Chains A and B, each alone.
Chain A
Amino acid sequence: MSLVERQAEEVGPKGTVLWDRPTRIFHWSLALTVAAAWLTATEGWVVIHRVCGYVVLVLVLFRIYWGFRGAASARFSTFLRGPGAALTYARAFVGRRTQPSVGHNPLGGWAILAMLTLLLLQAGLGLFAVDEFGVHAGPLASRLTFVAARRVAAWHALAANLLWILIGLHLAAIVLHRLVLAEDLVTPMLTGRRAGGVAPPLEHNASRVEVGLVLAGLAGVVSFLALFG
């Protein structure tokens, strides 16, 4: 897509672009994969659960890369603000004085960092965990004793609970923005756009080849772990 076409797409009559396409694809893939991982965590769906873990690993690592190469709203340098900014935003939110953010608001930015960190930890723990029979295990569990790998499995279960707390907060924030500020956060994550607005167009310099190569590289590393760990 040429720059002109891209700009035409991004500040067209359909409103302000909030999220670039890779960020949106990442978001919904992650949501689906985490849901699938949760559904397959028990009761004999271990093979699918393991694959979900690998996909989460690839997605989160990609998102970290995209946090440096993506469009402004996807970059850590844009959305990670100090605790002061987060507090100010929280106060303004309670007083209904906030303006709709382009990208993550200062509180949301920290939530994103927390979720990414916990997901990375969770997927990493899964690599070393083993079930109660010593049968189904992550690809790196053979490096641990049964007792140690069972301990990792207990941490894996704890991290899942912490993850649900964060996901609950994430969903609650969406509902609150809808109810308190009448701000729709879901549609922009689907279409990329919000109606109206004058925000500058979103640009990122990563070519499709670069994104493809990074994804392929990450998938390769994770597949290697999965097969030969």
Chain B
Amino acid sequence: MTSGFWRRRAAIFIALSAAATSATAASVVETRIAGFRDMGSAFKNIGDDLKSARPNRAHLQASAKVVRDYGMRIPTWFPPGSLPPPTPPESFIDRIRDLLTPADESGQAMRSHARPVIWARPAEFRAAAARFQNASDALWRDAGTAPVSVVTARYKATADTCDACHRTFREKLK
């Protein structure tokens, strides 16, 4: 057993763990994109329900729970190293092709729009996430029974925290 044996072992270990880290980073990016998309779906359902005079409260509360539960996971979705690499500028043709592919396949919607400032100012990001968590938790607690006007106010307050966070921490969509 020479030191060469251990050196090779160390090299293999480092290579494997690097691969594992990047695999984790890739899957966490996918997880958070899917999570935010599902949150958007649920949040749209809440808005659609609230448009009706007598919203289905069970449905409303189920959607609010989806939003609230995903919200609790937001802080785990942005570990160090999960900043997506900068995407090369797309040509006009690429963008057209992108727009013509079915909605739930790859495309602009499936690209991470996370801004580096998330990792540069983590405390500020956690605070923004916490504001969303508090608002969506209150929405969920009131969604089943509180008067519709209260639920609507909670819904709008939650939407404001989405918007506030995205302004700082998400790339503006083109």
Contact = CB atoms under 8 A, between A and B. Distances in A.
Interface of chain A: mostly helix, strand, loop or mixed: helix
Interface in B112-132: none
B99 A135 contact: no
A151 B103 CA distance: 6
Nearest to B92: A161
A148 interface: yes
A126 B116 CA distance: 32
Contacts of B41: 134, 145-147
B95 A137 contact: no
B96 A158 contact: yes
A211 to B, nearest CB: 34
Contacts of A130: 44
Interface of chain B: mostly helix, strand, loop or mixed: helix
B104 interface: yes
Contacts of B45: 134, 146
Interface residues of A, number: 21
B30 interface: no
B93 interface: no
Nearest to B101: A151
Contacts of A145: 41
Interface string A112-152: 00000000000000000010111101000110011111110
B103 A132 contact: no
Given A149-B44, A154-B99, A158-B99, A132 B173 contact: yes
Interface stretch (B54-62, B69-77, B158-166): B158-166
Interface of A: 42, 44, 130, 132-135, 137, 141-142, 145-151, 154-155, 157-158
21 contacts: A44-B163, A132-B40, A132-B173, A133-B163, A134-B40, A134-B44, A135-B159, A137-B44, A137-B47, A145-B41, A146-B45, A147-B41, A148-B103, A149-B44, A150-B103, A151-B99, A154-B99, A154-B107, A154-B108, A155-B99, A158-B96
